[in-house]
């Protein structure tokens, strides 16, 4: 059965790959793309989403720009990870179609209203747009959203602060709104995405895929991998965070998960943005989130390779 999705993203190398998996899969119908500020500034993330869809020949998918800043705190971006453009490493085409006039939350609303089936909202960046949508259109969200699948958070070690993951760090107040709204949630935290590494020999194999998508990702992944060579991370490759969301929608059997209550700390001096995962059910609060904790890495990489190959030859 095809899953209808809206992708809210901040491309970003791994967001770009998540977008590609969604376009490539016959099990996914990508209805719309909205962009948030995060990996780079709002204009750059919007441009990157449109550049990717131009390369993938999916200019028919509507794209709308979201909020320019987080709900409360100043915007912080990650140029040290994703470069000056947000997608350094490849020469991507300029967009050849127009962005939607509507802001992100209105495009989400129109897309849901037009769908005769429930839709999954996939969030692979900060949750600003998702939180605003839930606040402005709460009844529509409950009526038409099947679930929210997001990449963010960590149960334990963070990647931007000692216990805080980047996407949640950028807008913790928005994440708290989403996690406490009451819709079914699926969370891809660092615990699983750090297992979802692509190794150097696998990046080399991407370079042997002789189509424009393969050649672009060869450059993108080589750039992305360099940041993760710092010995402090203990990686042997580059963790592909955001594609885990789409991979779970395509084939959930490649993941192991646990249901638990997840909330977000917004006040702590040292822990603002920490996702508090109640693994042992110590609070007695409802188990609101399916948390992905394990992945079959080989199957995951095969899905990525097959998806890139599906765009044919030059």
Query: Under a CB-based contact definition with an 8 Å cutoff, are residues 287 and 259 in contact?
Result: yes
Catalytic status, residue 194: no
Please give the angle made by the CA atoms of 23, 107 and 45, to the nearest 5 degrees.
Answer: 60
Which residue among 13, 82, 194, 241 is the active-site one? 241
**DSSP letter at 100?**
P
Q: What is the CA radius of gyration of the chain?
A: 18
Q: What is the DSSP string of 201-235?
A: HHHHHHHTS-SHHHHHHHHHHHHHHHHTTSGGG--
The closest of 25, 40, 43, 47 to 92, measured between CA atoms, is: 47
Other residues' Cβ atoms within 10 Å of the Cβ of residue 160? 17
Query: Under a CB-based contact definition with an 8 Å cutoff, are residues 56 and 23 in contact?
Result: yes
Query: Under a CB-based contact definition with an 8 Å cutoff, are residues 221 and 89 in contact?
Result: yes
- How many helices and strands (H and E) does the chain possess? 13, 11
Residues 106 and 50: their CA atoms lie apart, in Å, by 18
For 80, counting Cβ atoms within 10 Å of its Cβ (0-12 exposed, 13-18 middle, 19+ buried), the class is: exposed
Q: Is 85 helix (H, G, I), strand (E, B) or coil?
A: coil
Tokens of 214: 């393969």
Catalytic residues: 241
């Amino acid at each position: 059965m095809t899953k209808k999705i809206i992708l809210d993203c901040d491309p970003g190398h791994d967001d770009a790959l998540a977008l590609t998996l969604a376009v490539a899969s016959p099990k996914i119908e990508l209805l719309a793309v909205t962009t948030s500020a995060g990996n780079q500034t709002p204009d750059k993330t919007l441009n990157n989403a449109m550049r990717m869809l131009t390369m993938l020949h999916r200019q028919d998918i509507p794209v709308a720009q979201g909020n320019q800043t987080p709900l409360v705190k100043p915007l912080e971006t990650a140029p040290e990870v994703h470069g000056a453009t947000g997608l350094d490493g490849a020469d991507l085409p300029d967009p050849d179609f127009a962005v939607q006039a509507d802001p992100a939350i209105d495009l989400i609303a129109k897309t849901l209203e037009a769908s005769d089936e429930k839709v999954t909202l996939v969030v692979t960046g900060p949750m600003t747009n998702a939180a605003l949508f839930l606040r402005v259109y709460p009844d529509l969200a409950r009526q038409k959203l099947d679930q929210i699948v997001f990449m963010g958070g960590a149960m334990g070690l963070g990647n931007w602060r000692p216990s805080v993951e980047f996407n949640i760090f950028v807008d913790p107040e928005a994440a708290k709104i989403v996690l406490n709204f009451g819709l079914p949630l699926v969370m891809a935290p660092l615990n699983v995405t750090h297992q979802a590494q692509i190794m150097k020999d696998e990046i080399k194999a991407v370079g042997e895929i002789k189509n424009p998508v393969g050649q672009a990702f060869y450059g993108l992944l080589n750039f992305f991998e360099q940041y993760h060579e710092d010995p402090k991370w203990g990686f042997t490759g580059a963790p592909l965070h955001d594609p885990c969301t789409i991979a779970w929608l395509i084939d959930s059997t490649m993941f192991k998960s646990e249901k638990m209550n997840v909330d977000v700390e917004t006040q702590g001096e040292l822990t603002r943005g920490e996702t508090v995962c109640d693994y042992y059910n110590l609070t007695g609060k409802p188990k609101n989130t399916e948390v992905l904790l394990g992945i079959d890495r080989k199957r995951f990489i095969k899905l990525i390779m097959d998806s890139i190959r599906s765009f044919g030859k030059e």
